[in-house]
Amino acid sequence: DIQMTQSPSSLSASVGDRVTITCRASQSVNNYLNWYQQKPGKAPKLLIYVASNLQSGVPSRFSGSGSGTDFTLTISSLQPEDFATYFCQQSYSSPITFGPGTKVDIK
Amino acid sequence: QVQLEQSGAEVKKPGASVKVSCKASGYSFSNYAMHWVRQAPGQRLEWMGWINAGNGRTKYSQNFQGRVTITRDTSATTVYMEVSSLRSEDTAVYYCARDWSDISGYSYYFNYWGQGTLVTVSS
């Protein structure tokens, strides 16, 4: 199985901050890397697919980059509704695997 | 609009089975695959398997060692996921999630999710 790691595991930030979250795969996943946002008690929400494609309806302050084993999710200007946990997911090979999550909370 | 409505919370004893349903609406049911993903308390999301809602073909994560069965009822536009031989470690929220692509090319990422079903395994 492809193992996914994320850093940091949590971070504190203020509204308006630029936030970057990193995801690393144990082997190349090409660009088949996706990002989700999850709020407490809710289902995950797809933000970015195939490394850098913004899902319809997702604000443009979210962006993704990377290929191979190293990827980043960037929030250009953090908004109050962005405080949540963010997961990466590889869709390159079965079984599909997810990262452990990065919790973004209010500074 | 696309909606995935899951069945309610369940409490089961170790060794029992549980069957969770996911009723789909707002799209052509047979044209998409449906996946199941679970999340144990404080843990990462874990993919369990999927079903092609058109032809019923399934694929499962080997991590569940034959304990998971996914089926569908096209007339009811509903997908079912059954876990057998439950143990305490199966306590989790179980989600159905629709594949982003139609069945002409699976994507294995998910743009629509059910609300989740909490399954608690306790003696």
pLDDT tens for A69-83 read: 999 999 999 999 999
pLDDT tens for each residue of A9-56: 999 999 999 999 999 999 999 999 999 999 999 999 999 999 999 999
Lookup: tokens for A66? 């990377």
Q: What is the pLDDT of residue B104?
A: 80
Pairing between strand A70-75 and A19-25?
antiparallel
Pairing between strand A45-49 and A53-54?
antiparallel
Report how far residue A40's alpha carbon sits from residue B114's, in angstroms, rounded to the nearest whole number.
15
Task: Let me know: does B119 contact B12? Beta carbons within 8 Å.
Answer: yes
Report how far residue A7's alpha carbon sits from residue A100's, in angstroms, rounded to the nearest whole number.
9
Q: What is the pLDDT of residue B102?
A: 84
Neighbouring residues of A12: CB distance < 8 A, sequence distance ≥ 6: A105, A106, A107
* Residue A49 near chain B (CB below 8 Å): yes
Question: Among B86, B82, B75, which residue's Cα sits nearest to residue B53?
Answer: B75
pLDDT tops 90 at residue B106? no
* Residue A46 near chain B (CB below 8 Å): yes
Q: Please tell me the distance in Å from B13's CA to the nearest CA on chain A.
A: 24
Q: Residues in chain B, how many?
A: 123
B47:A98 CB<8 A: yes
Chain A to chain B Cβ contacts (< 8 Å): 49
Give the mean model confidence (pLDDT) for residues B1-30. 98
Report how far residue B17's alpha carbon sits from residue B30's, in angstroms, rounded to the nearest whole number.
27
Three-state DSSP state, A27? coil
pLDDT tens for each residue of B19-78: 999 999 999 999 999 999 999 998 999 999 999 999 999 999 999 878 999 999 999 999
Report how far residue A6's alpha carbon sits from residue B93's, in angstroms, rounded to the nearest whole number.
22
Which one of A33, A56, A96 makes the best mutation probe of the B interface by having the most chain B beta carbons within 10 Å? A96
> In this structure, what DSSP letter does residue A96 have?
P
pLDDT tops 90 at residue B103? no
Lookup: tokens for A83? 């405080």
Give the mean model confidence (pLDDT) for residues A87-101. 97
Which one of B3, B4, B34, B45 makes the best mutation probe of the A interface by having the most chain A beta carbons within 10 Å? B45
